[in-house]
Structure 1
Amino acid sequence: MDGIADMGGTQGWGPVPPPTPDEPVFAEDWQRKAFALAILSSRVASGGINTDAFRHALERLDRAAYLDDGYFGRWLNAGELMLTERSVLAPGAIEARARNLRGEHVEEPPIPTPDRPHYAPTAEGSLRSVEAAPAFGVGERVRAKDISPAGHTRLPGYVRGHVGVVELIQPAHVLPDTNAHFLGENPQHVYSVRFDSHELWGADAEPFTLTVEMYESYLEAAA
Structure 2
Amino acid sequence: MNGIHDLGGLQCFGKIDNKDVDVKFVDDWERRLFASTLCSFGALGPIDAFRHAIEKMDPVHYLSSSYYEHWLEAVEARIKELNFTQSDIGVPLTPTDIESIVATGAHYARESVPENEPLAVGLEVRALPHSPEGHTRLPNYIKGKKGIITELRGTFVFPDTLAHGLGECEQPLYSVRFSSRELWAGRDPTNDAVHIDLWHSYLEVCDV
TM-score bracket, normalised by the shorter chain, equals 0.7 to 0.9
Aligned to 1:166, what secondary structure does the other structure show? strand
Give the structure 1 partner of residue 93 of structure 2.
none
Structure 1's unaligned 5+ residue stretches are 90-110, 115-123
Q: How many percent of aligned residue pairs carry the same amino acid? A: 38
- Using the TM superposition, give the Cα deviation of residue 135 of structure 1 relative to its aligned residue in structure 2, in angstroms: 3.1
Give the structure 2 partner of residue 3 of structure 1.
3
Contact 1:37/1:79 (<8 A) preserved: no
Tell whether 2:205 aligns with 1:209.
no
Aligned to 1:14, what secondary structure does the other structure show? coil
Whose Rg is larger?
1
Give the structure 2 partner of residue 36 of structure 1.
35
Letter in 1 for 2:12: G
- Using the TM superposition, give the Cα deviation of residue 59 of structure 1 relative to its aligned residue in structure 2, in angstroms: 0.8
Contact 2:113/2:155 (<8 A) preserved: no
Aligned to 1:7, what secondary structure does the other structure show? coil
Structure 1 consecutive aligned stretches of length 4 or more whose deviation exceeds 4 Å? none
In 2, Cα distance between equivalents of 1:18 and 1:7: 17
Give the structure 2 partner of residue 82 of structure 1.
78
Letter in 1 for 2:199: Y
Give the structure 1 partner of residue 163 of structure 2.
180
Question: Which structure's relative contact order is higher, taking Cα pairs within 8 Å and 6+ residues apart?
Answer: 2
> Which of the numbers 26, 31, 48 marks the counterpart of 1:52?
48
- Using the TM superposition, give the Cα deviation of residue 33 of structure 1 relative to its aligned residue in structure 2, in angstroms: 1.9
Give the structure 1 partner of residue 107 of structure 2.
125
Give the structure 1 partner of residue 24 of structure 2.
25
CA RMSD of aligned residues (A): 2.1
Give the structure 2 partner of residue 120 of structure 1.
none
Contact 1:65/1:73 (<8 A) preserved: no
Matches within 5 A, 1:186-197: 186-197=169-180
- Using the TM superposition, give the Cα deviation of residue 66 of structure 1 relative to its aligned residue in structure 2, in angstroms: 2.2
In 2, Cα distance between equivalents of 1:155 and 1:221: 16
Aligned to 1:192, what secondary structure does the other structure show? strand
Give per-residue Cα distances to partners, 1:93-132, cap 9 Å, x unaligned: xxxxxxxxxxxxxxxxxx9x97xxxxxxxxx620102425
Contact 1:128/1:174 (<8 A) preserved: yes
TM-aligned CA distance change 1:8 to 1:18, over 3 Å? same
- Using the TM superposition, give the Cα deviation of residue 19 of structure 1 relative to its aligned residue in structure 2, in angstroms: 5.1
- Using the TM superposition, give the Cα deviation of residue 54 of structure 1 relative to its aligned residue in structure 2, in angstroms: 0.6
In 2, Cα distance between equivalents of 1:135 and 1:16: 38
In 2, Cα distance between equivalents of 1:43 and 1:26: 24
Structure 2's unaligned 5+ residue stretches are 89-105
> Normalising to structure 1: TM-score of the pair?
0.77
Letter in 2 for 1:144: A
Give per-residue Cα distances to partners, 1:1-28, cap 9 Å, x unaligned: 112211111112222233557x232121
TM-aligned CA distance change 1:127 to 1:19, over 3 Å? farther
Contact 1:37/1:76 (<8 A) preserved: no
- Using the TM superposition, give the Cα deviation of residue 41 of structure 1 relative to its aligned residue in structure 2, in angstroms: 4.2
Q: How many residues were matched structurally?
A: 188
In 1, Cα distance between equivalents of 2:107 and 2:44: 18
Contact 1:34/1:73 (<8 A) preserved: no
In 2, Cα distance between equivalents of 1:144 and 1:163: 7
